[in-house]
Amino acid sequence: MKKFDIPDFYRSPIISEVKARRKAEDPRKKDFSPSLISFGKVEFLIARHFGFCYGVENAIEIAYRAIKENPGKRIFLLSQMIHNPGVNEDLQSHGIEFIQDTHGKQLIPWNEIRAEDIVIIPAFGTTLETENILSEIGVDVQSYNTTCPFVEKVWNRSAKLGNENHTIIIHGKADHEETRATFSHSNHHAPSLVIRNMEEAHILCEYILGKRDENSFYEFFQGKYSEGFDFKTDLNRLAVVNQTTMLASETQAITETIRDAMQQKYGEEQLKDHMADTRDTLCYATNDNQSATYGLLEHEADLAIVIGGYNSSNTSHLVELLEEKFVTYFIKGPEEITNADEIHCFNIHSKQKEKKQQVFPMNQEKTRIVITSGASCPDAVVDRVIQRINELYNVTQEMHISTLTP
């Protein structure tokens, strides 16, 4: 695995030691059991996989290289590099400006961008339409293109499937940067449709099986299908890909649901002609982080803390999983932990910040806290959260690391 050159302040002494130990014990990353960091009266149950993935580290390395290689030049990012406020704020502190916000709203008009400017394409990638605008201006769009290789894998597979006359079903959030980019690329080769969740998958299956009429299809999926989408012909040969930060288990379940409908319509013998196998397009890092979260659910703890940007899709899904068992708090960093009795966190259901009290059990002999973070969260932030909690408990014992099994 490539070792990336990223600023030292993104790394951490505690988490680096945990990850180094697990890498030595399990070099092929087959064991999803969590690590236990003990400080005596406080224990932290740490997910086997979390934090920066390959695509994020690659993007950060390229972004800081762009800063280093272009002193005196104007440097822009199409939108947020990744969904982590600390990373984006640091890039802005180095003079980088954002051309668009995360929803595609223009912050800097295209006519203010010049050919000699440096424009970084973020890890989510971008649409073909945006690439064309930059190319017409004369901007070099390849030197600092940080699009995640696993996102590009989805695009390449979608192109191949489109050339084989498949319609591309994208499991994702229609307004997310990555899904907008994937839709743009797949639409170039094939009819494309975005579905958000299992509920929409079931509704799509009703259309496939003729249980709903054509007119309501265009109304229900308004804004989520490609121009010229033909209800009568474009639901006959399908392939499912995803926004790589979605729950892999949900993508697989959606694929199976659609596969069952296609089998019901065409029969087992004809199924291969109507439904592609796209399991190999799922992002390994998202898959590993989610599998490691299931590993946390095999154990007991007093509470769980998930760390990351509040607009991070993959981080929100980790919260969803942990909420099944633990009281879970979604925070962006240690500054959200005001004191032993109060924490400021994000509610993924109401999409609002909340203030919670009496969070940490202070009067029991030992407290165990689950910790994990999203793919765009630096290990150093996880480190500081652990240190902040240790401050609350007045921890004095040295750290002891072990691996737990169910």
| Residue 275 and residue 291 in one domain | no
Same domain, 179 and 258: yes
User: Residue 173: which domain range?
Assistant: 149-282
In a domain, 1, yes or no: no
Q: What's the CATH number where 91 sits?
A: 3.40.50.11270
Using CA atoms, how far apart are residues 348 and 39, in angstroms rounded to an integer?
Answer: 31
Q: Which two structure tokens, joined as six digits, stand for 163? A: 């050339």
Instruction: Determine the pLDDT at residue 146.
Output: 94
Q: In the predicted model, is pLDDT for residue 292 greater than 60?
A: yes
Band of pLDDT at residue 1, cut at 50, 70 and 90? low
Phi and psi at 35, nearest 5°, equal -95, 150
- The average pLDDT across 150-170 equals 95
Q: Looking at the structure, do residues 224 and 341 belong to the same domain, yes or no?
A: no
For residue range 355-386, list pLDDT tens digits in order.
Answer: 999 999 998 999 999 999 998 899 999 999 99
Say whether pLDDT at 103 is over 60: yes
Q: Do 276 and 301 share a domain, yes or no?
A: no
Please tell me the distance from the alpha carbon of residue 127 to that of residue 137, in angstroms, as a whole number. Answer: 16
Render pLDDT for 5-26 as a digit per residue (tens, 0 to 9): 878 778 888 998 998 999 899 9
pLDDT > 90? residue 255: yes
Amino acid 2: pLDDT: 66
Does any domain span residue 2?
A: no
d(CA 393, CA 129): 53
Same domain, 398 and 347: yes
Dump pLDDT digits (tens) for 116-141: 999 999 999 999 999 999 999 999 99
Looking at the structure, do residues 45 and 124 belong to the same domain, yes or no?
no
Active site residue 391: no
- If asked whether residues 109 and 193 sit together in one domain, one would say no
Is the residue at 3 inside a domain?
no
Per this entry, what is the length of the chain? 406
Closest CA to 186 of 125, 136, 252: 125
Name the residue among 104, 238, 110 with its Cα closest to residue 179.
104
Which residue has tokens 């051309």? 99
Question: What's the rounded mean pLDDT across residues 324-334?
Answer: 97
Greatest CA separation found in the chain? 69
Please state, in angstroms and rounded to a whole number, the distance separating the CA atoms of residues 324 and 333: 23
> Within this chain, do residues 253 and 315 fall inside the same structural domain, yes or no?
no
Q: Which of 220, 248, 282 finishes a domain?
A: 282
The mean pLDDT value for 215-221 works out to 95
- Name the residue among 200, 205, 194 with its Cα closest to residue 243: 194
For residues 61 and 98, give the distance between their C-alpha atoms in angstroms, rounded to a whole number.
18
362 domain residue, yes or no = yes
Provide the percentage of residues in the chain whose pLDDT is more than 90: 78
Last residue of a domain, one of 137, 162, 197: 137
Residue finishing a domain among 282, 297, 321: 282
Counted domains in the chain: 3
Instruction: Inform me whether the pLDDT recorded for 55 exceeds 90.
Output: no
Q: Are residues 72 and 188 in the same domain?
A: no
For residue 275, being part of any structural domain is answered with yes
Distance of CA 213 to the CA centre of its chain: 35
- Tell whether the torsion through CA atoms of 53, 56, 62 and 65 is positive or negative: negative
Percent share of the chain, pLDDT over 70: 99
The three-state (H, E, C) secondary structure of the chain, written as one string: CCCCCCCHHHCCHHHHHHHHHHHHHCCCCCCCCCEEEECCCEEEEECCCCCCCHHHHHHHHHHHHHHHHCCCCCEEECCCCCCCHHHHHHHHHCCCEECECCCCCECCCHHHCCCCCEEEECCCCCCHHHHHHHHHHCCCCCCCECCCHHHHHHHHHHHHHHHCCCEEEEECCCCCHHHHHHHHHHHCCCCEEEECCHHHHHHHHHHHCCCCCHHHHHHHCCCCECCCCCCCCCCCCEEEEECCCCCHHHHHHHHHHHHHHHHHHHCCCCHHHCECCCHHHCCHHHHHHHHHHHHHCCCCCCEEEEECCCCCHHHHHHHHHHHCCCCEEEECCHHHEEECCEEEEEECCCCEEEEEECCCCCCCCCEEEEEEECCCCCHHHHHHHHHHHHHHCCCCCCCEEEECCC
Q: How far apart are the first and last CA of the chain?
A: 28
Return the sign of the alpha-carbon dihedral for residues 315, 321, 323, 327: negative
Q: What is the pTM of this model?
A: 0.86
* Residue 376: CATH number of its domain: 3.40.1010.20
Task: Examine the domain organization and report whether 335 and 360 are in the same domain.
Answer: yes
Mean pLDDT of the chain: 93
324 and 387 assigned to the same domain: yes
Question: Per the domain annotation, does 35 fall within a domain?
Answer: yes
Which tokens hold the place of 127? 């649409």
Asked if residue 41 belongs to a domain, the reply is yes
Catalytic residue among 178, 324, 336, 391: 178
Cβ atoms of 399 and 339 within 8 Å: the answer is no
Instruction: Please check whether residue 325 lies inside any domain of the structure.
Output: yes
The average pLDDT across 164-174 equals 96
- Do 153 and 234 fall into the same domain? yes
